[in-house]
Amino acid sequence: MNHQKETSKERRKRMRETSGRKYLKEDKNWTTVDYFSLGHVVGRMGWKGTGLLIVFMIVGYIIYKMV
């Protein structure tokens, strides 16, 4: 495929598909230790996912203390 004549929309789509495949391939290299390492988890989830995780943990703790 000639990448110089593609539109910006096509380029974004191609890049999104390419990075998605890389992301899936990298998941196979994870070990059990990586799931419990805060650096690996935050790196994978991004800042929004990490923020949601923290919020859910706080809410869960509050509910746990109420019961």
Predicted structure pTM score: 0.45
CA distance 18 to 33: 27
pLDDT of residue 58: 96
pLDDT of residue 66: 94
DSSP structural state of residue 67: -
What stretch of H or E contains 61? Answer: helix 38-66
Distance between CA atoms of residues 35 and 41, nearest Å: 6
Domain residue ranges of the chain, discontinuous segments joined by +: 8-66
Per-residue pLDDT tens digits for 13-59: 877 777 655 555 555 565 666 666 777 777 778 888 889 989 999 99
The DSSP letter of residue 1 is: -
The one-letter code for the residue type at 31 is T
Q: Please give the structure tokens belonging to residue 43.
A: 């790196």
Q: Flag whether pLDDT at 62 surpasses 90.
A: yes
